[in-house]
A and B are shown apart, each in its own frame.
Chain A
Amino acid sequence: MLFSLFLQDAPINTTNYMIAGYAVIFGVMLIYLISLLVRQRNLQKDLEVLEEIQVEEQ
């Protein structure tokens, strides 16, 4: 494998690996962004419920 790297004239075809790499980069970043949004929304709901309970108790 290493010999073939040095003896070749044209670069080896590694486009699929590049696509896989960038799919991981953008995929993971997107999943993290979605998780931030979902957690933000859930916390907002929790906060509203807890505030209602507090008002009722008072």
Chain B
Amino acid sequence: MESKPRLLTILDIVTVILLLVATYMVFFYAPQEAVMGDVQRVFYFHVAAGWVGMLSFLVAAGVGILYLVKKDRKWDIAGLAAVEIGIVFAFINIVTGSIWARPIWNTWWTWDPRLTTATVMMLIYLAYLMLRQGIEDPDRRARFGAVYAIIGFLSVPLTYFSARIFRTIHPIVIGSGDAGATGSFDMTPLMTQTFMFSLLTFTLIFIDLLWHRIRLGRKADQVEQLRLKTME
């Protein structure tokens, strides 16, 4: 069995500590928002999860290009790992947004441009996982995955800018948002510090999970190669 690198163990420990500190900051360090109350605290991890989702899809597109250039399967393994993690965090982002919306917008869901594009983005990558499973030949699957991840990435900037381009009720906390946005608030310095710390923590969680998922992917590849060899 492949031994776990020492650096990965250190990264695991640092990530857990940072997550504990970020959670403490969210609940005890950041002040309660004056209008929305406690539910505003969801914002810190909601945005951080959305950031990890988009970062994952960016990585998947990047390694997709690398695969097409180098034809090395390790980039396909990394791409699949990034997409899987991206879906998990995009899901967290959408569900926590919906929970926040219930008391603030008085509805769990609305087909607002930001919510719609975020959902479409997640579904595009969910389809990536499903379609991959239907391709038996590993090289063809990898080529398909690379092209899909590159084209699918178009949905990421569309999601990010949707709240800035279209009329939306989704608030933009950083920068200026639509006048019709509901649930906006001004961040105090303590809120900003908590927010930035959460972003840093989630970035580290992403790196840590990606490393673990790539190790898992390498093992899956090894099993697949052996299985094909045994069947010959």
Instruction: List residues of A whose CB falls within 8 A of some B CB.
Output: 1-2, 5-6, 8, 11-15, 17-18, 20-22, 24-25, 28-29, 32, 36, 39-40, 43-44, 46-47, 50-51, 53-54, 57
Complex CA–CA separation, A5 to B103 (angstroms): 10
In the complex formed, the residue of B with least CB distance to A45 is: B223
For this complex, into which size category does the number of interface residues on chain B fall?
Answer: 35 or more
Complex CA–CA separation, A1 to B46 (angstroms): 23
Q: Is the CB of B223 within 8 A of A11?
A: no
Q: Closest approach, in angstroms, between the C-beta of A30 and any C-beta of chain B? A: 11
Q: Closest approach, in angstroms, between the C-beta of B206 and any C-beta of chain A? A: 11
Given contacts A12-B36, A47-B219, contact A17 B92 (CB under 8 A): no
Q: Is the CB of A17 within 8 A of B102?
A: yes
The 4 A-B residue pairs whose C-beta atoms are closest, nearest first, are A14-B39, A11-B37, A21-B42, A18-B38
Instruction: List residues of B whose CB falls within 8 A of some A CB.
Output: 1, 32-42, 45-46, 49, 88, 91-92, 95-96, 99-100, 102-104, 106, 182, 205, 209, 212-213, 215-216, 219-220, 222-223, 226-227, 229-230
Label chain B's interface by main secondary structure: helix
Q: Is the CB of A36 within 8 A of B37?
A: no
Give 10 CB contacts A-B under 8 Å.
Answer: A5-B35, A11-B36, A12-B36, A17-B99, A18-B38, A21-B99, A28-B95, A29-B92, A36-B213, A46-B223
Given contacts A29-B92, A32-B88, A44-B1, contact A21 B46 (CB under 8 A): yes
Complex CA–CA separation, A51 to B222 (angstroms): 11
Q: Closest approach, in angstroms, between the C-beta of B178 and any C-beta of chain A? A: 15
Complex CA–CA separation, A6 to B34 (angstroms): 10
